[in-house]
Structure 1
Amino acid sequence: MIVKLDDLIVEIEPTFKLGIIHYSKIVVTSSPQMLKGRLQLFQEQLFFELEDKAVTDFEGIKEWRALWKKFGADPNRYRPSMEAMYRRIAKQNYITPMHSAVDLNNFFSLQYEIPMGIYDIAKIHSDITLTVGNAETKYIGLNGRENKLQHILTLQDELGPFGSPFVDSVRTAVSENTTDAMHVVFLRPSISKEDGQQLITSIGTMFTQIHGGSFETTFIG
């Protein structure tokens, strides 16, 4: 399965970078207590930090809001996924555990201040293109609503859009039946290739420590 960038993305942001991690033979379960505890503790620490610091002062969020605007989207209306989580935490509305894959994805996204998505490879059809959504781009998201993705970065296969750094679709969601998954890491444009590769390798290593299986990484940018 190949993931490629639409040329328009690089025209708008020449330093755009993406990390792809392919997992094979993983086992997704209810999150172990260690992961639940770590996610809860991180959110509690972040809540206290947010009492004295604005969400938009975090470097990763600041960088992704600027990128959002470059593609024509309004970050005050359609926020990058990790910013939405930060704003929930600021209200002490903590992210509740779902299962090990989603919980770890959320933990990484909060920790590194970047959007991330994880998808069931069995539910993806054909190669994937990351492009910029238009007026017709929409899907039913994990938030339970129909989401319109005009001017928002969108992952698409032959059946249409299924993921974005805004909210992911129901169609390709990972479940406890998933054995092969794809992690998409929407890196900060400012990160170096060396640091970006090191980051996605670190994410893949920790993910397979919890889920078993193996992983391969691809750095795009």
Structure 2
Amino acid sequence: MGGGPGHLQPRRHAAPAHQRRGDPAGGGARRDHPRRHGRGVSLRRRGAKVAVAPDAPPFALAPRLEAELQARVRLGLVRAEPVSIGPAGPALQGAIGEACGSLARQHAGRPPSEIPGLAAARDLYRAFGIDPTRTRPSSEALLRRVLQGKPFPAILNAVDVCNLCALLFLLPIGLYDAHRVRGAVCLRRGRPGETYQGIRKDVVHLEGRPVLADEEGPFGNPTSDSLRTCVTATTRSLWMVIFAPASSPRAPLEGYVRHARDTCARHLGPPGTNVATSGEVL
């Protein structure tokens, strides 16, 4: 399989644990330290053992951004396949519980307006004339739920991975069945009167908002995705899109993409099969 950004790429295998920890048998290799991204939750890279699916087709990972949007939005892109969709396993449930507990302790008693990590998603919404206090970014709505002591919304393992990443990054993330996306994809503003059928509500209004669109029309935006491309129990290939304001530094977003790839590889693989992932920042 080719190594370009539009193709699935194998991740390097993790070194044995004794080598990562500087055991004499491992030649004193340096410890793999966790990275932090400014929100008090450790995003540790764990070298998930993955391989390219033999029949994985090429995939145009990077959508075209309309010129006017290039100064307003930056995207982090993740592709993963093959995946097995179902209830979250114990390891994923544990990761979710750990993240929720850490965030609840860190932000206890603080109103959302005083949580610095929420500013990026709010800035993204304001860049498109959307009041984030009236239409909340999905990542902020999820954090508010956690801080109110409400349970994390367990749905399907892939959706739970997406929501976990949104909670850690505090950025809205779209999740799509890659095989339901038709042809070339672009990111543009929603047109007058444009809508699609949402996952949890009948109609999502798109005018003026940033939308992902393929040859059949719009299918995703930072607030609510479409029913047409949603992940189901039959999904075998995922596409994840992290939405950030154009002012976001590239390096942290690259870290988020790596973390999302590793999380998909750890928690979404079919039994006995490795997950191949690829990623890019636009």
State TM-score, norm by structure 2: 0.70
Inter-CA distance 198–52: structure 2 relative to 1 (3 Å threshold)? same
Is 1:172 equivalent to 2:225 in the alignment? no
Matches within 5 A, 1:3-152: 3-11=63-71, 13=72, 16-152=73-209
Query: What SS is found at the alignment partner of 1:173?
Result: coil
Structure 1 range deviating more: 168-177 or 129-138: 129-138
8 Å Cα contact 2:171/2:244 also seen in 1: yes
Q: 2 CA distance for matches of 1:196 and 1:42?
A: 19
User: Offset at 1:48?
Assistant: 4.9
Query: Residue 49 of structure 1: CA displacement?
Result: 4.5
Alignment of 1:217 with 2:274, yes or no, is no
Q: Gapped runs of 5+ residues in structure 2?
A: 1-59, 270-274
Are 1:30 and 1:98, in contact at CA under 8 Å, matched by a contact in 2? yes
Q: In the alignment, is the contact (CA less than 8 A) between 2:188 and 2:213 conserved in 1?
A: yes
Aligned residue for 1:22, secondary structure, equals strand
- Report the CA distance shift for 1:189/1:157 in structure 2 as closer, same or farther (over 3 A): same
Structure holding more helix per residue: 1
Q: Is the 8 Å Cα contact of residues 154 and 162 (structure 1) preserved in structure 2?
A: yes
For residue 197 of structure 1, the aligned residue among 246, 254, 258 is: 254
Asked if 1 retains the 8 angstrom alpha-carbon contact of 2:70 and 2:246, the reply is no
The CA deviation at 1:32 is 0.5
1:159 pairs with 2:225: no
Gap change, CA 1:91 and 1:198, over 3 Å in 2: closer
1:51 positional shift: 4.1
Indicate how the Cα distance of structure 1 residues 89 and 202 shifts in structure 2: closer, same or farther if over 3 A, else same: closer
- Residue by residue over 1:170-205, the C-alpha shift from the partner in whole angstroms, topping out at 9 and shown as x without a partner, is 111112211111111113544433332232122112
Q: Secondary structure at the match of 2:235?
A: coil
Question: Judging changes above 3 Å, is the alpha-carbon distance between structure 1 residues 70 and 174 closer, same or farther for their aligned structure 2 residues?
Answer: same
Residue deviations 1:7-53 (CA, integer Å, cap 9, x gap): 11124x2xx32111121222222111121233234334434555421
Which is bigger in relative contact order (C-alpha 8 A, separation at least 6)?
Answer: 1
TM-score normalised by length of structure 1: 0.88
CA distance in 2, matches of 1:81, 1:74: 13
How many residue pairs are counted as aligned between the two chains? 217
Describe the SS at the equivalent of 1:199. Answer: helix
Q: Distance in 2 between matches of 1:52 and 1:171?
A: 40
Q: CA–CA distance in 1 between the matches of 2:252 and 2:123?
A: 21
Shift of 1:207: 1.0
Determine the C-alpha separation between the residues in 1 that align with 2:87 and 2:206.
Answer: 31
Separation in structure 2 between the aligned mates of residue 37 and residue 128 of structure 1, nearest angstrom: 35
Q: Report the identity percentage.
A: 24
SS of match in other structure, 2:165: helix
Is the alpha carbon distance of 1:60 and 1:143 closer, same or farther for their aligned partners in structure 2, counting shifts above 3 Å?
farther
Question: Which has more radius of gyration?
Answer: 2
Mark the CA change 1:54 to 1:151 in structure 2 (over 3 Å): closer, same or farther: farther
